[in-house]
Structures are given as structure tokens and as C-alpha cells.
Structure 1
């Protein structure tokens, strides 16, 4: 008898292992059927199935899985599996989000049926996983089903592998899964039997399938963007055209393939040289590229349309995106070649062969699509009631909210929506009022599009289906029950929704009018000598009013008593220079032009003064004369109090401290001389530009609304290009050669033959600053030294880009006083002479200097345990990759947002130019109401200011990311060099 029992146990263990190791959807379903049949288990008995399986399979491998699932099932929200015992749910679609929802509903004790129209999982594309999703999947036993789960340096998994894993878990917890079953529509309960008859059912194909008789109380749509459930209106978000290409190549798992490093992401905003080299060598023009190694070699890239046209991938150029990317307009062979070339170049031609994997259509697995056209459902759920039968309808996954591809949000937000839906079903089963349930669900849904890895709770162990455990700023009552009445009792033929119930977000913007602007200017300049503001034109000619406006908020910037009222040109130019340097307000004309005119142009002054209003509005004058501008980004400023550390410490610390002190003294001397040079006199504008209304590049008329300025030049947006590569430049991201009067992109500035002594001094000063920071970093054994790009834009004569502020942060420990004093007292000097432009020659110099520092100051320390050292190196590498991936996602989003802003600015400029021509009488139209036109003009001005502010902040973020990336690269190089010499850096 004992032997028979052992044999049964062994057989059960082997059958369960076969089920766990199944590698296809069909194989999984077949292994599960065999397991249930041999162990005499009934999958339809969903309430006891898991416990019966657990009792029958007692192998040591299975016990590890049972402990994880038991821990998950112990959450109080599930009420020991009895929270939804009388609830029957239908889930449409077996994608990751549909299966994840089904698992949560099964934990609640509901009867769950999943239908899927396919019988294969063939999606090779790879998903990036947020940290919480990794924690969640590990808690469900992911490593038991897929031993290599998140074992690499980048956290990702193929969709196919994730589906298989979730399918197996769903079957184990009692979910009934049917493949080759297609959902057609919902069937209403019959009218003649309101109480005793069948309830809501589904029309499916094939019609005779047993599931067609299944009555359910809840239906969840998880069948992707082409959701088949009626009653949900969708909002479309379409931005600037962004063409993504995904390609999967066969992974033969050879040694050569294993050595090829994955690409967590290369974005144009970081590595301009990579993409320019790619374009020059292959003709392929990309915005970014990512490479993950999983079951396949997976590449995804964003290609520019013109490059696809030039390479023959797209045959004809159409305005409509659907026609442009239709299969009839795409040369498939050219697309295959395009993706292969990009993959080859991206991996430095290290992959031995790039043979395409085959998709479920039997074709090479490559796809091209526009990922900026995204859909989102206006509501997450609704309730239908026919003949006393109520039905709760919900959406999850892409059916609810399509992800923005560069952020990798699909799976992460999809899982959050699955938990939120399970919470809603729990309330439904417990008898809460339908309107209350819908109002709470819509309140939570408002948070979903805003979620990022940074703004959700970090304690993943506390995560449950209760939204309060996951969203730190949850307001579950922001949508009231009366606001969701339109999605209760919705009939299939009445799907329209009222505009009042739209889920939307509105940002508060300043709403001002010319009269209000004039009144504000009068109030701010009241009492100043020689200033009497009565209008928005002639009152500003002398320049005193502009200087008074600035002085009223920042008296330390302008010595108002020294101004000469008769010197209009100097006064106005001083105000323009100070506003640009201190507040980032671009000039729209020159002081000399205002002095030469009879009175300033009204349209021009309204545009310029509105910028001051929006910066200074509702800001009180601080006692110390320092203005805190609302709406700007706040940055960490080190404490001014400092004291040297206590005497003592080892010789190495004293030696490095002495070097750091000397370098700081040298840096202060260089920076002070730079600051002195910067403050001598005002900016000298070129005298041969033809005036502010003439574009410095094309010599054509530039109207007020479309006017940009930098380094005394005025120009059209499309004319602002690099003198070498002709790529479009953005303000704050350009370099300027004051001797030659040319603008450059960051990459090509170092190639320009600039022989200015000022340039050499400034670059050397930058090296001193960075070397000093690295010395301090090494001194205090820290890897997280902080670099911040200041929001204020400092104009170094040949650079014209944002400054660099070295901030010590909280890592100083017991040395905080001394080091904070050393750095804190120099903060202003750092920000005036340090630069964000990084050239390859400078980076090489930095590496040499750091290497010299390592040789001088760090004694070799051999690791006692080689295994421990390798483990630490792997952990450091993994962390570096994760940080790099975060920066990539942020960079891609910033890059797309900058392009969206640019498109909106161009459209706004077109409207503004047309309106300006009418106001100036250049069109011959005399019938328009001038007052109404001025009001329209002012609205355009406000919109322009808003876009400019947003663009400026995006550029700051981009520069910060660039510095973080460069710092990370320098640290990796430093670690690599030290590892080669056998040194360690704590």
C-alpha cells in the first residue's frame, strides 16, 4: 500500500512538472487536462479545485509554489476566497491583463471563465517590467514557471512567455479557460422570464460551444484596442507622427550571441553621434532604438518618415497615416532590410546572424505602426440592467487605455487596472449601490494615465487589490455618483454619453486681458522717478518703465537711480539683457530700435510685457530682495554654514582633502574672473542684422508672433539650424561662436575651428569643476553625487546654454559641514561658468584626469573573495542598466513632447502672423472689429507664452538627463579602470 501511495505521489509530481514545463498554449492546456484526469480532479469545481490540487501534488518543487500562492490568497480583501462566491465572471481575451484580472477574481472566490479566439501564444515582442510588476509576478511564483525570469541586467519578458506563465497560474487557481472561442456580442435576458429565466449571456462562435449557456454577472473586456464590448466611447490622442518598427530575430543561444550586450535604450537626446553615424553609414534615420535578448533578439526603434521614403520602405508619401502605413504602401522586403541594417549597426555587427523569427502568420516577425495614435476609453466601467438582471461591464488592458510605447506602460498600468477592476467586482458582490461603485471606479481611473514607477507606493509588499495600498494620493470620491448616472442602465442601442460625464483633466491657466495687464504694470511701477504708465506703447519708450518693473521685484539687478531718462537705447537694452539672463525672457527687439521709433509697437509690447506678468503674477516682494518665481522648478541649494571636520582620519582622506581644497581655490579664481568678465558692460548686438523684424538667416520678414532670438539674432524657428549638419536647433540646446557669428548643435561645436581664448579658459574651468566634484565624490565614498542644470539660463559668450550647479546633497555624512561649505559657497560660481555641452575631447580629458587621481590617491585593495566581487559587479551593472532605462524612458518622452510643442508652436505662429497682418492693415481688410482682433491676439500671446515655458522646462529636464548619463558613463569607466588594476571603490 505504501509503495502504491509513493507511486501516486511520484506520478502526480511528474504530471505537474510536465504542466509547469509546457512551452505552448496547446501544450499547457493538454498537460492540464491530463493532470486533472489522472488525479481525478474536476476543474469546474472552482471553489475547491486549488485545495484539491495542492493536496494531490506534494513534491518539493510544488510546495514552493503553494506557499507563494497561499501567501497571496491570505490577503484580507479576499476574505479567505469567499468575497465573491456567488459571482460569475466572463473575461474576454487571454492577454496578460485579461489573465491577471481572472486570477484576482478567482482569489476572490468568483466563478471565472476566460474565452480566447486563438489557441496559440505567438507574440514575441518583449515587455519592459516596472519594479512592482516584477515583485507581483514573483509573488505568484514566476520563477517556478520560468527560471530565467528577470535574471538578466534588464528587466523584461516576452509577451508569449508572460501569457504562458499567467495561463498556468490561472488554471491552478480554478479559472476555466476556453480557446478557439470568439466573442460576438452580449445577449440580453429574455423578457418573458424576468426572475427565473437565464440572465446575461454571450453570443459566441462556434455557436454550439457549451460556454454559450453560461450566465454571468460581470463581463471584463480584455481583447485589445479593438474592444468588442459596446457602450464605451473612446477618445483618440494623436500626436506628431511617430513610426515604430519592431523586429524579432532567431535566438540560437550560442556563446557569440550571449556576449552581445542588450541596449536598454539609445535616444537621440543623449547620443547624437550614434544616430548621425547611423544615418551617414546606412541612410537610416532613427529617434531611438532598444534591444532586448529573450526567446528572440527583439529590436524596437522609432524611424523618421523621410528616411523610410528614401530607403524605399514607404512607397508613396500620404498625409493620412492610415494610407501612409497601409500594407499596399509598404515594401516588405525593404522593411526587412531596413530593420536588419539598424539592428546590425546597433549591436556593432556582433550578432553572427540575423534571421527573422516567424510569426503566427508564417511570415518574418517585423511590424511597422504609428504609436502616437492612442485610444483611451472615456469610462472604465458601466452597468446594464434589463428585466431585473444587472450586469457589470468593465475594461482592462489596451481596451481601457493604450500605452505610450516609449514609457513601457502597457503591462504595468494594465496590471493596476486589473487590481482596480477586481476591487470594483468585490464591491459589486457585496451589494454596494451601482452608482457608488461606478463613481469610485471612475475616480481611480483618473489616476491611471498619470502613474509612473516614481509616483506609486514603493512598499510593494503591502500591495493588494485595495487601491489605497498602491496609489499614495488617492481620492476615491473625486467623481460623485450623480456624475456617472449616464453609464448606469445603458442599453446596447443607447451608447452615447453626455458631455458632462466626460472624464477629463483641466489645468488652471492665467486668464488676463490687455486692460488688466496695463493696470498691473501701473501698480508695479507706481512711484518711480520719470515713470508714468498710461498705455502699452509710448509709456515704455524711455526704458525706465521696464527697468522699474524689474527693479520692483529684484532691486539687486538694476541700479535704478543711476539711469538716464534721455538714454532710451541703453535703458531698454539693459532691461532686455537682465530679463533674458535672470528670468529667461527672450527679447523681441533691441534698445536701439525702440529709441529710433516714434513709439514702441503695441503688439510687440503686449507680447513682451505679458511674459513679465505671468512670471511675477501673485508674487510678493521678498524682504531680502530675492524673487521666488512661482511655477519654476526648485533646485537644492547647499547650506551656507560650514565648519571643517574634526581632525583625524587616515592619510588618504587628508591627502585628497588637501587636493580638493587647492582645486576649489583654483576653481574660485577662474570662476570669479569669468563672473567679472560677464558683468562688464551689456551685451553688444551685431549691427548688420537689418533689425529685429528681419530674419538673421534668411533675410525675410519675421513677424512678432513667430520671432525667436538668441545672442542678439532674430529669426524664424525653421531657420535656426546648425551651421554644419543643418539640423534644427532649440533655444537652450545650442552653441554659439561669437567670433564667427555662427550657431552649432552640441555635437558639432567642438568641430568648429574656434580660436577664442575665452573658449579655452571656459572649457578648462569646466574640467576643474567636474574634477573637483569627482574628488569630493571619491573622498566620501559615494556614487550618487548630484548634478543639476539650473532653471536660470546663463549666456556664456560662445555657448548660450544652461549652467551646471554642483550640489553636494545629503551623502556627506560626518564630513557634511566642511564639504558643504566648500561647495555651497561656490554654488553661484559653478552655475555661471560650468556648461552642459560635452565634447568627446573633453570627456577623454576627464577620464585621464580621473585615472590620474585614482593612481595618486587610491591604494590597491585586492578583494579577498573573487566571487563576492563579481556578485557586487553584477548588482552594480544591473542597477546601472535600470537607471539607464529610466533615463531612456524619460528622454524619449521629453523628446516626443518637445516635438509636439514645436508642432503646436508652428500652428500658433501661422494664426498669429495672419492676425498680425490684418491688425497692421497689410491685407486690406477694414471690416474686422479691431477690439475683437486685439482680444484674439492676446489669447494667442498667452498660449505662446505657455508653450515657451513648457519648452524651456523640457529643455532643462533634457540637459539634466544628459548630465546624469555622462556622469554614469564616467563612473562606469572609472570602475572599469579600477577593476583592471585590482582597485575597489567603496
Structure 2
């Protein structure tokens, strides 16, 4: 007679195999109940689940997580023991950041507005990202993860993998809760969040670190965004149902075909269908995923765009797009590019229950001017940092989104470590901004190839990094101090300016002379003639930001 199955082993299997966010959470709660562990006991949760779940399938996972946790940067999970971190957004970057903060020993709470993970779109993964996820046990949770030559994964699957790791490390993840802003400290409480529903238990959570991974255009107060616009380029994404049949499995993926490399293909597509594309990518994952860049002229001709406008927002506004025509356009492009081998292309559904096809302008890119900010009220400081799309929007044809997103997650964890170790706030901000300067330049070629040595320490990943390229005095504008009790230095300087305006003028002139001294052909004597050639201004910029000149 076979031994009875241990209920916790069976529940762990269900947890590992769960295919939706709510299923994951349900099986996790049941597992905690069976093992008599409080999921809110973040300090010792991972240790207890390892001790009590004596199951061979789980042990392989503990080995991987233990290896990550043993990295020197985490100081055995004691670097941030006193810190409480709120992470907004359970996208891949928010969850990846939460994992790192948890390994540092912080208490971590993640808030997510949606109740389910529904994004079918597929992400291209850089080699380091594949290695990183494998080391977190991605294969244990999703057997098909990057098998063979595959180097991509759907956003939904990636979220599920990272959610499971988060929960096992003691991170609290709350779904269907909307963040509506920060609540400043009172005499009795610290920084808190205004949430909907107002009765949600996370409303009582007090924190000293706030990480926004809210995505897209969501940027907390205190951050400015730059908009970078190039020549109009219209992207289309489409997801079709993957029936996982033998015939579908035979259809070759298209890792990226651009017009300049295969003009014959694109000319035939245009001749036979009137569809004019710059490039097309096809990945096979949970869905058949296509992403393409379409020419405006062909979209107008095919009736996808109803009326031509020079303004991109007007041009692609929902009212100016024929959704049925867009579906036909995407379907025909997908059918032709796969040689008609995907004969039964039916659209998968998006979160709204509609055909999962979208059109967007990817030439308008947003990036935050800064990656971090410190706010202080009633003597309580809050470190605020951005990760993911609200820090830098990805340029999809290069597959940079998730790779740079993970780099930003590690960089953010690195400065939270400094914050937890008591490093002065201006120094923390200066270091974060120094590292941020490198992010948009990263490629698989110019980052370290020694993936096994990667940690939250930027020096293990960036080939050339100067953690003090920006100095503390250059980031004072990123500190928003308590307005009710200005520091004595602020009061003193205000008094001086009020008492004697001339002395302020002289002080400023002395400062300019000091910081331009020694530069050729620069001799600052006043605020008029000395600046006409522009050399004095260049000298001043060179003094503080030599890399810019």
C-alpha cells in the first residue's frame, strides 16, 4: 500500500504549477496554514518554510535561493533590518525589486491595482536576464522557460514566476488595491499610503522607502519627465491563441526581420496585401505574439487610420482608429509572414475581453530626469525611487525593457542598502544619480559577461562605473525638507539676503570666480562682459559636470 501523500507537498506542487495570480495566492495561503506559518512573519518566514516543508521538489528551489541570499551585499539579510518598503506595482520590475529588498532583510509590501496578470505581450530577454531568472528558480515554476534557443517570455508568465519567489521570501503582495497618494507623518505616525479600498489592511503600513514601479506615465510628485520624440514610428502588437498543436510547433519564429535586410519579403507583402511594414517579430509563447512597425500611408490606405493628422496623439486617438480594420491588418501581416502555416489565427483576449491587438506611437519616449528623491516631514525621511517604465520607457525593437528594468531594480536595492546602513541622504541620492547616468547606455555588449558574479553592487555589472560622478551638493534639489521647520542654515542665508542684497551679489561673484579659476581665456570680474563669449559658462559647467563638456 502506497504511503499517504503529505498534504503540504501536494499544495506546494499546486502552488508551483498555478497559472493565475489568484491561484498562486490561494495555494500559498493554504500552504502556510498546513505548515502553521504566519505569512506576515517576514523576518523568519523563509527559514520556517524551509524547515517545515521537507520535500525534495522544494529543496532544489531552496538551494538556488540560498545561493542568491548568501551574496556578500545582503550581509546575511541584516543590511536593512530596520527598513520598511512599499513597492507600487506588481509588474516584473516591481516584483524583482521586492525580491532584492527582501533579501536585504527589509519588510516589503507590494501593491497592485489589478486582480490578475493578463499581459500576453512577449519580452525579449538578454543573456544576463535569462541567467538571473534561472538562478531564481524560473525553470522550477515554468518548465518551458528559455529552453533550447528561446530567449523570450510573456509578461504574464514572468510575473507569475517572480510573484512565487516573492511570496516564498516573505514579501506581502496585495492585489486589487489602488494607490492614491502618500500621507505625510503626524506626531504619532510615519509615512503611509492613501489606498482604495480605504479599509485595506495595508493602509496601516508605515514605511521609510517608497518604490514606484507603477509603469507608463505614472510618476510620483517631485519627479520631472523628459519627452524624447523622433520621426513618427507606429507599432502594432497582436496576440493569437496558441493551441499548442504539432503543426503550430513547426512554424519558425521570426526573431526580427527588418526591411533593409530583406527587401524582397517586404515588397511581396506590400504587393499581395497593401501592408507596408518596416520590420516584424514573431515569438511563440503562451500566445502567437507579433510586433511590427507599420507605415502610416498603408494604415490610411487600409482604413485602419480614418483621417491623417500631423499630431501623433490625434492620429492614433481611439476615435481615429478603426479597430476591425486594425485586426484585419494585423491578422494578414501575421498570416503572410509565417507563410500561411498558422492557418487558424484567432485573437487571444486582453484584460478587457477584447481582441488583443494594439497600436501605439513608440517614437515618443519618456524618461525621468532623476531616479530618486528624499522627502522629510516632521523629522521623518522617506526615500522615493523609480524603477521600470516610469523611470525609463523601453525601446521595444531592442528588447531593452526588462534588462534595463532589472538593472534599475538592482541599482535601487543598492541605494536602499546605503539608506538602511545610515548613509547621509544627500550621499545616497548622489550615488543613485551617478549610477542612473549609465542605465540608458547599457547593452549586452558593454556590461559584464560574468553573470554569476552579478549582484546589487553596480561594480559587478557595469564595466565602468564611478559611484561619485555626481556629488552630494549637486543633488540638494532632490531633497524636499520639512517646510514647517527650516534648518538654521536656511534661516541664516535668508536673513543675510534680506539684510544686505549687495553682500549676496558679492558672494555669488566670488563663487563664480572661484569655480572658473584656471580655465584658459576665462577671467570673471562681473556679471556682464565676463560672460559674453560663453567661455565662463562652459568653465562653470566643466567644473561641476566635466563629462558634459
How far the C-alpha of 1:489 sits from its partner, in A, is 2.1
How far the C-alpha of 1:265 sits from its partner, in A, is 0.9
Between the aligned partners of 1:91 and 1:486, the Cα distance in structure 2 is: 24
Q: Alpha carbons of 1:318 and 1:112: their partners in 2 closer, same or farther (altered >3 Å)?
A: same
How far the C-alpha of 1:491 sits from its partner, in A, is 7.1
Match of 2:263 in 1: 272
Between the aligned partners of 1:203 and 1:492, the Cα distance in structure 2 is: 21
Aligned residues of 2:80 and 2:106 also touching (Cα < 8 A): yes
5 Å matches for 1:17-32?
A: 17-32=13-28
Higher relative contact order (CA 8 A, sep 6+): 2
Match of 2:405 in 1: 414
Aligned residues of 1:230 and 1:492 also touching (Cα < 8 A): no
Q: Alpha carbons of 1:40 and 1:492: their partners in 2 closer, same or farther (altered >3 Å)?
A: farther
- 1:326 matches 2:328: no
Q: Alpha carbons of 1:243 and 1:492: their partners in 2 closer, same or farther (altered >3 Å)?
A: farther
Between the aligned partners of 1:381 and 1:304, the Cα distance in structure 2 is: 38
Q: List per-residue Cα deviations over 1:369-390 (Å, max 9, x = no partner).
A: 0011110000000000111000
Match of 2:446 in 1: 455
Q: Alpha carbons of 1:430 and 1:326: their partners in 2 closer, same or farther (altered >3 Å)?
A: same
Which secondary structure does the structure 2 equivalent of 1:133 belong to?
helix
Between the aligned partners of 2:253 and 2:54, the Cα distance in structure 1 is: 39
Match of 1:222 in 2: 213
Match of 2:108 in 1: 112
- 1:300 matches 2:300: no
Out of 190, 194, 204, the residue aligned to residue 199 of structure 1 is 190
Which secondary structure does the structure 1 equivalent of 2:38 belong to?
coil
5 Å matches for 1:117-132?
A: 117-132=113-128
Q: Alpha carbons of 1:205 and 1:449: their partners in 2 closer, same or farther (altered >3 Å)?
A: same
Aligned residues of 1:12 and 1:56 also touching (Cα < 8 A): no
Q: List per-residue Cα deviations over 1:410-441 (Å, max 9, x = no partner).
A: 00000000000000000000000111111010
- 1:69 matches 2:65: yes
5 Å matches for 1:831-850?
A: none
Out of 122, 147, 151, the residue aligned to residue 151 of structure 1 is 147
Between the aligned partners of 1:249 and 1:152, the Cα distance in structure 2 is: 23
- 1:388 matches 2:384: no
Aligned residues of 1:154 and 1:264 also touching (Cα < 8 A): no
- 1:98 matches 2:94: yes
Aligned residues of 2:35 and 2:53 also touching (Cα < 8 A): no
Q: List per-residue Cα deviations over 1:716-736 (Å, max 9, x = no partner).
A: xxxxxxxxxxxxxxxxxxxxx
Between the aligned partners of 1:247 and 1:492, the Cα distance in structure 2 is: 50
Q: List per-residue Cα deviations over 1:873-932 (Å, max 9, x = no partner).
A: xxxxxxxxxxxxxxxxxxxxxxxxxxxxxxxxxxxxxxxxxxxxxxxxxxxxxxxxxxxx
Between the aligned partners of 1:491 and 1:213, the Cα distance in structure 2 is: 23
- 1:432 matches 2:428: no
Which secondary structure does the structure 2 equivalent of 1:86 belong to?
coil
Aligned residues of 2:240 and 2:348 also touching (Cα < 8 A): yes
Structure 1, 419-428 or 32-41: larger mean CA deviation: 32-41
Structure 1, 12-21 or 284-293: larger mean CA deviation: 12-21
- 1:349 matches 2:340: yes
Which secondary structure does the structure 2 equivalent of 1:299 belong to?
strand
Between the aligned partners of 1:353 and 1:83, the Cα distance in structure 2 is: 54
Match of 1:212 in 2: 203
Match of 1:16 in 2: 12
How far the C-alpha of 1:227 sits from its partner, in A, is 1.6
TM-score normalised by length of structure 1: 0.49
- Point out the structure with the larger helix share: 1
Match of 1:486 in 2: 477
Supply the RMSD in Å over aligned alpha carbons: 1.5
Match of 1:719 in 2: none
Aligned residues of 1:78 and 1:107 also touching (Cα < 8 A): yes
- 1:36 matches 2:25: no
- 1:82 matches 2:78: yes
Stretches of structure 2 lacking an aligned partner (at least 5 in a row): 485-549
- 1:171 matches 2:167: yes
- Point out the structure with the larger strand share: 2
Aligned residues of 1:73 and 1:80 also touching (Cα < 8 A): yes
Runs of 4+ more than 6 Å apart = none
Between the aligned partners of 2:57 and 2:398, the Cα distance in structure 1 is: 36
Match of 2:44 in 1: 48
5 Å matches for 1:682-721?
A: none
Q: Alpha carbons of 1:339 and 1:427: their partners in 2 closer, same or farther (altered >3 Å)?
A: same
Q: List per-residue Cα deviations over 1:219-260 (Å, max 9, x = no partner).
A: 000010222521100000111100000000000001110100
Aligned residues of 1:377 and 1:399 also touching (Cα < 8 A): yes
Between the aligned partners of 1:169 and 1:64, the Cα distance in structure 2 is: 13
Aligned residues: 484
Out of 119, 124, 142, the residue aligned to residue 138 of structure 2 is 142
5 Å matches for 1:660-671?
A: none
How far the C-alpha of 1:153 sits from its partner, in A, is 2.4
Match of 1:402 in 2: 393
Between the aligned partners of 1:127 and 1:379, the Cα distance in structure 2 is: 26
Between the aligned partners of 1:136 and 1:427, the Cα distance in structure 2 is: 23
Q: List per-residue Cα deviations over 1:601-634 (Å, max 9, x = no partner).
A: xxxxxxxxxxxxxxxxxxxxxxxxxxxxxxxxxx
Between the aligned partners of 2:29 and 2:483, the Cα distance in structure 1 is: 37
- 1:183 matches 2:179: yes
Q: List per-residue Cα deviations over 1:34-92 (Å, max 9, x = no partner).
A: 11112111011101101111112122111110000000000011111111111000000
Match of 1:243 in 2: 234
Match of 1:376 in 2: 367
Aligned residues of 1:199 and 1:216 also touching (Cα < 8 A): yes
Q: Alpha carbons of 1:317 and 1:176: their partners in 2 closer, same or farther (altered >3 Å)?
A: same
Between the aligned partners of 2:251 and 2:72, the Cα distance in structure 1 is: 46
Between the aligned partners of 2:20 and 2:482, the Cα distance in structure 1 is: 40
Between the aligned partners of 1:33 and 1:320, the Cα distance in structure 2 is: 50
Between the aligned partners of 1:281 and 1:26, the Cα distance in structure 2 is: 45
5 Å matches for 1:928-939?
A: none
Stretches of structure 1 lacking an aligned partner (at least 5 in a row): 494-986
Q: Alpha carbons of 1:319 and 1:350: their partners in 2 closer, same or farther (altered >3 Å)?
A: same
Aligned residues of 1:231 and 1:492 also touching (Cα < 8 A): no
Which of the pair has more CA radius of gyration?
1
Aligned residues of 2:335 and 2:343 also touching (Cα < 8 A): no
How far the C-alpha of 1:10 sits from its partner, in A, is 2.0
Between the aligned partners of 1:487 and 1:476, the Cα distance in structure 2 is: 17
Match of 1:610 in 2: none
Aligned residues of 2:372 and 2:384 also touching (Cα < 8 A): yes
How far the C-alpha of 1:13 sits from its partner, in A, is 1.2
Between the aligned partners of 1:328 and 1:228, the Cα distance in structure 2 is: 27
Match of 2:463 in 1: 472
Match of 2:250 in 1: 259
How far the C-alpha of 1:154 sits from its partner, in A, is 2.9
Q: List per-residue Cα deviations over 1:438-478 (Å, max 9, x = no partner).
A: 10100000000000000000000100100000001101111
